[in-house]
Amino acid sequence: EVQLVQSGAEVKKPGESLRISCKGSGYIFTNYWIGWVRQMPGKGLEWMGIIYPGDSDTRYSPSFQGQVSISADKSISAAYLQWSSLKASDTAIYYCARRVGATEAVDYWGQGTLVTVSS
């Protein structure tokens, strides 16, 4: 069974750093892209970026380039989304999702990680 399991909710202060994770299981992790999606409170879905764990090829949406960093550790089937200096406006639920390159299907989703940034 394919699963994407994300790390737990975080409460941080502005200026702090953070890394959240997404662990894949039930499939060959290095053969599929992992994307990250933001959902701010009461708002829609926003595509942030994507990584291919096989070779760490990473692409960012223009709105998120330079704001976050996406990485992966294929030895433990994990993808990461990282901030070096959080802002209150980073408060959101963050989802990871699997993309099938050959078909451009985005099929399996993680359960989401709530990040709250507040002083």
Partner 1 sequence: QTVVTQEPSLTVSPGGTVTLTCASSTGAVTSGYYPNWFQQRPGQAPRALIYGRSIKHSWTPARFSGSLLGGKAALTLSGVQPEDEADYYCLLYYGGAWVFGGGTKLTVL
Is residue 27 at the binding interface for partner 1, with CB under 8 A as the rule?
no
* Among 70, 108, 115, 117, interactor with partner 1 by CB under 8 A: 108
Q: How far is the CB of 108 from partner 1 (least distance, A)?
A: 7
Q: Are 70 and 55 in contact (CB under 8 A)?
A: no
Is residue 50 at the binding interface for partner 1, with CB under 8 A as the rule?
yes
* Among 55, 59, 84, 85, interactor with partner 1 by CB under 8 A: 59
Kindly determine how many residues on this chain lie close enough to bind partner 1 according to the rule CB under 8 A: 23
3-state secondary structure of 77: coil
In 1-119 the beta strands, taken as DSSP E runs, fall at: 3-6, 10-12, 18-25, 33-39, 45-52, 57-60, 69-73, 78-83, 92-100, 105-109, 113-117
Catalog residues that contact partner 1 under the rule CB under 8 A. Answer: 35, 37, 44-47, 50, 59, 61-62, 95, 97, 100, 103-112
